A and B are shown apart, each in its own frame.
Chain A
Amino acid sequence: MDWSRTKSIFIWVFLILNLFLYTQYLESYNEGQLIEVLGETTKKIEARLKEDNITYIALPNNNESAAYYSGQIKKFSPAEIPYSANQFTQIENENKLIVTMEKPVKLQENGGRNPFLEFLYNNVQEGDSYVLWNVDEEKREATFFQKVNNLTLYYNVRGYVKIYWDDENRVYAYEQTMLEKHEKLDKQQNLLTAIQVLQILDNKNLLKPDSQILEMNIGYSTIVQLTQTQVFAPTWEVRVKLKDGQEEIHFVNAVQGKIVELQNDLSEIVEETEDLEE
């Protein structure tokens, strides 16, 4: 037997075997690095937030799910506007009502943060399908967003109500757009958890040090705009109070995890949309 040759063969065989085992080890090590155990991720993000002095009280429950929805732009026709002796209604571009009150309507006293509810329910078509978003005391304007699947549809120029009042707390006008025929699309989607959303915002440096997470809600944002139909995606709304007392709102697509950049001034969107339509 040629021992020298056998020895060489053994050396080569073990060398190849070692190389193979080493590559296997590297692969499994790298895979291990990629897998993030949820508990650990949560701890990591919590630690990072703590480091930056970003505080929050209680985050919403995990494991929420919601579906995509669609809606059609409501075209108003004079025939279907209910008669009201106190309302003078103009229809703009078929999709917006501009209503002037013949006699201004006194706002509800002791209505708390939302003294507009009574007016909304009694005077506005399907008023209960809108939810208060913002009150601008200086301009005396209150903005309501339409609800889809009972959740707020953020900043959609086709689904809002704006109420205007005078210095005697009387509503003298409002404008309204509406999305109708809401339909669930496709199957229910599992949504990102609140902590995952904070992680996304933190990774993008959108959470500033010394800030406080005030609220996190699920709503909808418009993802697709067709000629007559729009499609809405489940969206996380994250309200943050900054060190200087200012408030910031971030929106994150709750299925895909992308930051949704919504223009936060509805009047600007209205103007832009109208320019495009012209």
Chain B
Amino acid sequence: MRFSVLASGSTGNAVYVENDEHSFLIDVGLSGKKMEQLFANIDRDMKSLSGILVTHEHSDHIKGLGVIARKYNIPVYANAKTWTAMDGLVGTIPTDLCFDFDMETVKTFGSLDIQSFAVSHDAADPMFYTFHDNGRKLVVITDTGYVSDRMKGYIAAADAYVFESNHDVSMLQMGKYPWNIKRRILSDVGHVSNEDAAVAMADVVAEKQTQIYLAHLSKDNNMKDLARMSVEQTLQSCGIITGEYLHLHDTDANEPTKLVMV
């Protein structure tokens, strides 16, 4: 199994996952044109996508969904409430391309099992996914106000994570966002901070080689270096030294990460 975080942040999100038989896109949060560029950057073609997995209906996750699904005839998977919430936001997707992916269920595509799990976010019915292939596990989890024990059960002991590390609390508090937005981000249905993300990581990582991609960084209230330092030091206070078996990686709002093997 291989993956690349094509883009991550409040300006648009998309993660690409493939094995030898199938390939999937998790969310299409950028314009069709930008998505095509990102695919070209990792030397992949959208035509060969087996499906698009939608996490929730916020625009930074579905901006290019309709365009891409229609243009390349790609099946789209989302849960029923998300389908309803997307009505009118993504244009008309032909019914033969619309599929239900219920919360907390598994779909199997050859050797690839994809499991959905609920997150806590202010959307209709937000969910993220874990991917299992040949005994290897990849987790994509962003857009959650906190990481519950139930979520931890789903995401534990993966080989690679795309993990939200949205903001630094002090930067957010000092920042220019209106108070109601700050309150929303900090709430249980907002986004996880660098430190909270690290505490959750410490609970779920197993003592084996693990790659963690810090994702969905706030443009105004975080920085790559700060997110990495903050996660690193919080992990250290939880007894985990990064670089031993756990490795942190950056993601970018415009540049895809290298396509790497899990």
A residues at B contact (CB < 8 Å): 68, 70, 183, 185-186, 223-229, 231, 233, 253, 256-258, 260
Contacts and interface: CB of A to CB of B under 8 A. Distances in A.
B175 interface: yes
B224 A186 contact: yes
A186 B176 contact: no
B171 interface: yes
Contacts of B229: 70, 226, 229
A228 B233 contact: yes
Contact of A231 (B224, B226, B236): B226
B260 interface: no
B190 to A, nearest CB: 19
Interface of B: 168, 170-171, 174-176, 220, 223-226, 229-230, 233-234, 236-237
A68 B223 contact: yes
B198 to A, nearest CB: 11
Given A225-B170, A253-B174, A186 B233 contact: no
B8 to A, nearest CB: 16
Given A70-B225, A228-B233, A229-B233, A256 B170 contact: no
B26 to A, nearest CB: 27
B225 A258 contact: no
A186 B223 contact: yes
Contact of B230 (A183, A223, A226, A233): A226
Nearest to B174: A258
Nearest to B175: A256
B188 to A, nearest CB: 23
Contacts of A224: 168, 170-171, 226, 230
A186 B225 contact: yes
B176 A256 contact: yes
Given A226-B230, A228-B233, A185 B223 contact: yes
Given A226-B233, A229-B233, A70 B175 contact: no
Contacts of A231: 168, 226
Nearest to A183: B225
Contacts of A223: 170-171, 174
Contacts of A257: 176
25 contacts: A68-B223, A70-B225, A70-B226, A70-B229, A183-B225, A185-B226, A186-B225, A223-B171, A223-B174, A224-B168, A224-B171, A224-B226, A226-B229, A226-B230, A226-B234, A227-B233, A227-B236, A229-B233, A231-B168, A233-B174, A253-B174, A256-B176, A258-B174, A258-B175, A260-B174
Given A185-B226, A226-B230, 19 more contacts: A68-B226, A70-B226, A185-B223, A186-B225, A186-B226, A223-B171, A224-B230, A226-B229, A226-B233, A227-B233, A227-B234, A227-B236, A228-B233, A229-B229, A231-B168, A231-B226, A258-B175, A258-B176, A260-B174
Contacts of B234: 226-227
Contact of B237 (A183, A227, A229, A253): A227
Contacts of B233: 226-229
B233 to A, nearest CB: 5
B220 to A, nearest CB: 8
A227 B199 CA distance: 14
Nearest to B230: A226
A278 B42 CA distance: 52
B225 A185 contact: yes
B170 to A, nearest CB: 5
Contacts of A253: 174
